[in-house]
Chain A
Amino acid sequence: AQSVTQLGSHVSVSEGALVLLRCNYSSSVPPYLFWYVQYPNQGLQLLLKYTTGATLVKGINGFEAEFKKSETSFHLTKPSAHMSDAAEYFCAVSQNTGNQFYFGTGTSLTVIP
Protein backbone atom coordinates (compact mmCIF):
# COMPACT_ATOMS: atom_id res chain seq x y z
CA ALA A 1 0.00 0.00 0.00
CA GLN A 2 1.11 3.52 -0.70
CA SER A 3 0.43 6.65 1.30
CA VAL A 4 1.71 10.18 1.63
CA THR A 5 1.91 12.37 4.72
CA GLN A 6 2.47 16.09 4.49
CA LEU A 7 3.36 17.60 7.84
CA GLY A 8 1.85 21.02 8.34
CA SER A 9 -1.30 21.93 6.48
CA HIS A 10 -0.29 25.60 6.61
CA VAL A 11 3.20 27.07 6.35
CA SER A 12 4.03 30.78 6.50
CA VAL A 13 7.37 32.25 5.53
CA SER A 14 8.67 35.75 4.99
CA GLU A 15 9.56 36.89 1.51
CA GLY A 16 13.17 35.94 0.86
CA ALA A 17 13.23 33.24 3.54
CA LEU A 18 13.80 29.52 3.04
CA VAL A 19 10.79 27.44 2.07
CA LEU A 20 10.63 23.89 3.46
CA LEU A 21 7.58 21.73 2.85
CA ARG A 22 7.69 18.24 4.29
CA CYS A 23 6.58 15.01 2.68
CA ASN A 24 6.95 11.46 3.96
CA TYR A 25 5.72 8.42 2.12
CA SER A 26 5.19 4.76 2.67
CA SER A 27 5.62 2.33 -0.16
CA SER A 28 6.21 -1.38 -0.42
CA VAL A 29 8.14 -0.94 -3.66
CA PRO A 30 10.58 1.71 -4.91
CA PRO A 31 8.47 4.80 -5.29
CA TYR A 32 8.17 7.49 -7.86
CA LEU A 33 7.66 10.83 -6.15
CA PHE A 34 6.15 14.08 -7.32
CA TRP A 35 5.44 17.59 -6.12
CA TYR A 36 2.56 19.53 -7.61
CA VAL A 37 1.49 23.14 -7.05
CA GLN A 38 -2.05 24.46 -7.26
CA TYR A 39 -2.76 28.17 -7.60
CA PRO A 40 -6.24 29.48 -6.78
CA ASN A 41 -8.90 28.42 -9.26
CA GLN A 42 -6.43 26.32 -11.23
CA GLY A 43 -5.57 22.68 -11.62
CA LEU A 44 -2.41 21.03 -10.36
CA GLN A 45 0.87 21.78 -12.11
CA LEU A 46 3.92 19.54 -11.87
CA LEU A 47 6.85 21.16 -10.02
CA LEU A 48 9.29 18.26 -10.11
CA LYS A 49 9.53 14.49 -9.99
CA TYR A 50 11.88 11.74 -8.85
CA THR A 51 11.94 8.43 -10.71
CA THR A 52 15.48 7.07 -10.63
CA GLY A 53 19.03 8.36 -10.56
CA ALA A 54 20.16 11.51 -8.77
CA THR A 55 18.32 11.94 -5.50
CA LEU A 56 18.39 15.74 -5.60
CA VAL A 57 15.84 16.87 -8.13
CA LYS A 58 15.49 20.39 -9.46
CA GLY A 59 12.16 21.70 -10.67
CA ILE A 60 10.56 24.82 -11.98
CA ASN A 61 10.47 28.20 -10.23
CA GLY A 62 13.63 27.48 -8.23
CA PHE A 63 12.21 24.56 -6.25
CA GLU A 64 14.10 21.36 -5.53
CA ALA A 65 13.51 18.20 -3.53
CA GLU A 66 15.72 15.44 -2.20
CA PHE A 67 14.74 11.79 -2.08
CA LYS A 68 15.99 10.21 1.15
CA LYS A 69 15.22 6.53 1.15
CA SER A 70 16.42 5.96 4.72
CA GLU A 71 14.02 8.62 5.97
CA THR A 72 11.25 7.84 3.44
CA SER A 73 11.11 11.55 2.77
CA PHE A 74 10.87 13.86 -0.22
CA HIS A 75 10.90 17.37 1.22
CA LEU A 76 10.46 20.38 -1.05
CA THR A 77 12.71 23.41 -0.63
CA LYS A 78 13.37 26.80 -2.16
CA PRO A 79 16.19 29.04 -0.89
CA SER A 80 14.29 32.32 -1.16
CA ALA A 81 10.50 32.65 -1.11
CA HIS A 82 8.74 34.94 -3.52
CA MET A 83 5.24 36.34 -3.19
CA SER A 84 4.21 34.39 -6.28
CA ASP A 85 5.02 31.11 -4.47
CA ALA A 86 1.88 31.43 -2.35
CA ALA A 87 -0.20 28.40 -3.33
CA GLU A 88 -1.21 24.89 -2.28
CA TYR A 89 1.48 22.22 -2.64
CA PHE A 90 0.81 18.51 -3.00
CA CYS A 91 3.19 15.61 -2.67
CA ALA A 92 2.31 12.42 -4.54
CA VAL A 93 3.69 8.91 -4.81
CA SER A 94 3.27 6.32 -7.51
CA GLN A 95 4.55 2.82 -7.88
CA ASN A 96 6.63 1.60 -10.79
CA THR A 97 3.72 -0.24 -12.37
CA GLY A 98 0.28 1.00 -13.04
CA ASN A 99 -0.77 4.60 -13.16
CA GLN A 100 -2.30 5.30 -9.77
CA PHE A 101 -1.08 8.34 -7.91
CA TYR A 102 -1.56 8.81 -4.18
CA PHE A 103 -1.67 12.40 -3.02
CA GLY A 104 -1.08 14.00 0.34
CA THR A 105 -3.57 16.38 1.91
CA GLY A 106 -1.62 19.40 0.73
CA THR A 107 0.26 22.27 2.38
CA SER A 108 -0.90 25.83 1.95
CA LEU A 109 2.07 28.19 1.67
CA THR A 110 1.66 31.83 2.65
CA VAL A 111 4.42 34.31 1.87
CA ILE A 112 4.52 37.37 4.11
CA PRO A 113 5.88 40.58 2.58
Chain B
Amino acid sequence: ETGVTQTPRHLVMGMTNKKSLKCEQHLGHNAMYWYKQSAKKPLELMFVYNFKEQTENNSVPSRFSPECPNSSHLFLHLHTLQPEDSALYLCASSQITAGASPYEQYFGPGTRLTVT
Protein backbone atom coordinates (compact mmCIF):
# COMPACT_ATOMS: atom_id res chain seq x y z
CA GLU B 1 0.00 0.00 0.00
CA THR B 2 1.17 3.51 -0.71
CA GLY B 3 0.04 6.96 0.32
CA VAL B 4 -2.98 7.29 2.56
CA THR B 5 -5.57 4.54 2.70
CA GLN B 6 -9.03 4.62 4.23
CA THR B 7 -11.47 1.85 5.05
CA PRO B 8 -14.27 1.29 4.48
CA ARG B 9 -14.86 3.29 1.32
CA HIS B 10 -18.61 3.28 1.84
CA LEU B 11 -20.61 2.93 5.03
CA VAL B 12 -24.31 2.99 5.71
CA MET B 13 -25.34 3.04 9.34
CA GLY B 14 -28.41 3.61 11.42
CA MET B 15 -28.63 6.35 13.98
CA THR B 16 -28.18 3.90 16.85
CA ASN B 17 -25.19 2.04 15.40
CA LYS B 18 -21.56 2.25 16.43
CA LYS B 19 -18.94 2.08 13.71
CA SER B 20 -15.35 3.13 13.14
CA LEU B 21 -13.48 4.63 10.21
CA LYS B 22 -9.85 3.71 9.73
CA CYS B 23 -7.03 5.64 8.14
CA GLU B 24 -3.45 4.53 7.58
CA GLN B 25 -0.61 6.55 6.12
CA HIS B 26 2.44 4.90 4.57
CA LEU B 27 4.43 8.13 4.12
CA GLY B 28 6.30 8.36 7.42
CA HIS B 29 4.47 11.55 8.35
CA ASN B 30 4.00 12.81 11.90
CA ALA B 31 0.66 14.60 11.63
CA MET B 32 -2.78 13.28 10.70
CA TYR B 33 -6.14 14.94 10.15
CA TRP B 34 -9.85 14.19 9.82
CA TYR B 35 -11.96 16.36 7.52
CA LYS B 36 -15.67 16.35 6.75
CA GLN B 37 -16.67 17.15 3.17
CA SER B 38 -20.31 18.05 2.60
CA ALA B 39 -21.82 19.26 -0.65
CA LYS B 40 -21.51 23.00 -1.28
CA LYS B 41 -19.47 23.58 1.89
CA PRO B 42 -15.74 24.08 2.44
CA LEU B 43 -13.85 21.15 3.83
CA GLU B 44 -14.32 21.19 7.58
CA LEU B 45 -11.29 20.32 9.65
CA MET B 46 -12.44 18.09 12.51
CA PHE B 47 -9.35 16.83 14.33
CA VAL B 48 -5.59 17.24 14.14
CA TYR B 49 -2.99 14.96 15.65
CA ASN B 50 0.69 15.92 15.85
CA PHE B 51 3.04 13.18 17.00
CA LYS B 52 -0.03 11.18 18.14
CA GLU B 53 -1.25 14.03 20.36
CA GLN B 54 -4.53 15.73 19.55
CA THR B 55 -3.88 19.43 18.99
CA GLU B 56 -7.13 20.57 17.42
CA ASN B 57 -10.78 19.77 17.97
CA ASN B 58 -12.85 22.19 16.00
CA SER B 59 -16.05 22.06 18.05
CA VAL B 60 -16.88 18.59 16.81
CA PRO B 61 -19.84 16.89 18.54
CA SER B 62 -18.92 14.17 21.00
CA ARG B 63 -20.64 11.54 18.85
CA PHE B 64 -17.39 11.68 16.84
CA SER B 65 -14.44 10.29 18.79
CA PRO B 66 -10.94 10.16 17.28
CA GLU B 67 -8.15 7.81 18.22
CA CYS B 68 -4.52 7.91 17.14
CA PRO B 69 -2.64 4.90 18.54
CA ASN B 70 0.52 5.70 16.58
CA SER B 71 1.71 8.15 13.94
CA SER B 72 0.61 5.87 11.10
CA HIS B 73 -2.96 5.08 12.15
CA LEU B 74 -5.98 7.24 12.81
CA PHE B 75 -9.50 6.15 13.68
CA LEU B 76 -12.80 7.97 13.87
CA HIS B 77 -15.31 6.24 16.14
CA LEU B 78 -18.93 7.01 15.39
CA HIS B 79 -21.99 6.54 17.60
CA THR B 80 -25.57 7.82 17.63
CA LEU B 81 -25.03 9.86 14.50
CA GLN B 82 -27.59 12.12 12.88
CA PRO B 83 -28.66 12.18 9.22
CA GLU B 84 -26.87 15.52 8.78
CA ASP B 85 -23.62 13.71 9.55
CA SER B 86 -23.86 12.00 6.16
CA ALA B 87 -20.83 13.19 4.20
CA LEU B 88 -17.47 12.18 2.78
CA TYR B 89 -14.91 11.83 5.56
CA LEU B 90 -11.37 12.46 4.44
CA CYS B 91 -8.18 11.58 6.23
CA ALA B 92 -4.93 13.39 5.50
CA SER B 93 -1.36 13.35 6.70
CA SER B 94 1.61 15.69 6.52
CA GLN B 95 5.13 16.10 7.83
CA ILE B 96 5.43 18.90 10.36
CA THR B 97 8.90 20.30 11.04
CA ALA B 98 9.31 22.97 13.69
CA GLY B 99 10.21 26.30 12.15
CA ALA B 100 9.63 25.13 8.59
CA SER B 101 6.90 26.22 6.25
CA PRO B 102 3.82 24.04 6.25
CA TYR B 103 4.02 21.10 3.93
CA GLU B 104 1.18 19.93 1.79
CA GLN B 105 -1.32 17.49 3.15
CA TYR B 106 -1.76 14.14 1.46
CA PHE B 107 -5.32 12.87 1.35
CA GLY B 108 -6.89 9.46 1.34
CA PRO B 109 -9.82 8.60 -0.95
CA GLY B 110 -12.37 9.13 1.80
CA THR B 111 -15.21 7.16 3.34
CA ARG B 112 -18.68 7.95 2.03
CA LEU B 113 -20.91 7.80 5.11
CA THR B 114 -24.69 7.63 4.93
CA VAL B 115 -26.70 7.83 8.15
CA THR B 116 -30.23 6.48 7.87
Contacts and interface: CB of A to CB of B under 8 A. Distances in A.
Interface of A: 4, 9, 32, 34, 36, 41-46, 49, 51-52, 90, 94-96, 98-106
B50 A99 contact: yes
A23 B36 CA distance: 21
B107 A99 contact: no
Nearest to A52: B101
A44 B100 CA distance: 23
Q: Among A36, A99, A102, find the residue whose CB has the most chain B CB atoms closer than 10 A.
A: A99
Given A43-B4, A43-B107, A44-B107, A103 B43 contact: yes
B4 A32 contact: no
Interface of B: 4, 6, 31, 40-43, 45, 48, 50, 56, 90, 92, 94, 96, 101-102, 104-110
B94 A43 contact: no
Q: Among B6, B43, B45, B50, find the residue whose CB has the most chain A CB atoms closer than 10 A.
A: B43
Contacts of B56: 100
A107 to B, nearest CB: 12
B102 to A, nearest CB: 5
A43 B110 contact: yes
Contacts of B43: 90, 103
Contacts of B50: 99
Given A43-B90, A43-B108, A43-B110, A99 B41 contact: no
A52 B101 CA distance: 9
A36 B45 CA distance: 16
A46 B94 CA distance: 12
A51 B101 contact: yes
B24 to A, nearest CB: 13
